[in-house]
Amino acid sequence: MDHAHDSSPERSSPTDRPGRLSIGLVGTGRAGSVLASALARAGHRIVALSAVSSASLDRATRRLPGTPIVPPDAVVAAADLALLAVPDDALEPLITGLAEVGAFRPGQLVVHISGAHGLGVLEPATRAGALPLALHPIMTFSGRDEDDSRLAGVHWGVTTVPELRPVGEALVLEMGGEPIWVEDTQRPLYHAALVVAANHLVTLINDAVDLLRAAGVEQPGLALAPLAGAALDNALRSGDAALTGPVSRGDAGTVAGHLAALRGRQPSAVAGYLAMARRTADRAIAAGRLDPAAAEGLLDVLGSRTSAT
């Protein structure tokens, strides 16, 4: 039998798969450029993008070479799937403006990647007959080449109307991610959790780096890395059982010493230390790690310093 014309898996291309879409990217930022590249690797066609700043133009050249750069309404008009990857505050005026000029059409997929927003912000597109999806990667992007590899295995918050849930989950899987369903009403709480885990963590680590530097420690980041990595791993594995340190022991004297040192050398860090120490005490007591009676002296220290601050 002649197999010369057989379509073997080795010869097939991602673009040969059924259901390939033309993708238009509005906002060639750090996240949008990475996600559009991932969709292209899955076999979808990036047919147009918008880019204004020099950084965005550079990303377009590096990540999506040869893709036409056109205004946002032309991007949407060219696409089966419009990927809106602009900052949170710019999303609502962008969608409203695109709807006003009739850019959206019935049956078109419109995807935003904002964690803070759900489906409400897409309402102008939905009224035009477009199909709304909020797909948010739970990852921070640096703009460097390693962002592509960071996308593998990332969980995504998927929010859409029930009949489009399989579509949203399929798109996430194609980009190498793991979809998790988030109800539209829960998007603010979902996003608050991620801000605590990522943005607030960066602030905590940088405060610790500054304090070590003030204490005369050279290369404080290197000194903190094993401790912070172990604490993160332990917290994710063991929850509140991972708590250690003077607050979880009710060691009021040590905490008072910390506050005195901070007031003398780094007063801007006092409020953050107090807030986290109180929250740590609350969790330690609730988890049975700290006896409420033993915590009285500690809570007095934290309370008295709060009023003084």
Count other C-beta atoms under 10 Å from residue 198's C-beta. 12
Q: Amino acid identity of 37?
A: S
Whether 11 has a pLDDT exceeding 60, the answer reads no
Whether 19 has a pLDDT exceeding 80, the answer reads no
pLDDT single digits (tens) 134-144:
999 999 887 77
Q: In the structure, what pLDDT confidence band is assigned to residue 125 with cuts at 50, 70 and 90?
A: very high
Compute the distance between CA of residue 159 and CA of residue 169 in angstroms, rounded to an integer.
10
Compute the distance between CA of residue 247 and CA of residue 290 in angstroms, rounded to an integer.
8
SS3 percent helix, strand, coil of the chain, rounded to 5, is 55, 10, 30
Nearest-10 crossing angle of helices 201-214, 270-286: 120
Whether 151 has a pLDDT exceeding 90, the answer reads no
Q: In the structure, what pLDDT confidence band is assigned to residue 18 with cuts at 50, 70 and 90?
A: low
Summarize the confidence of residues 273-290 as an average pLDDT.
95
Phi and psi, residue 126, nearest 5°? -65, -40
pLDDT single digits (tens) 263-275:
999 999 999 999 9
pLDDT single digits (tens) 34-66:
999 999 999 999 999 999 899 999 999 988 999
Compute the distance between CA of residue 38 and CA of residue 156 in angstroms, rounded to an integer.
14
For strands 22-26 and 109-112, give the pairing.
Answer: unpaired
Contact 3, 135 (CB under 8 A): no
Cα 229 versus chain centre, distance:
19
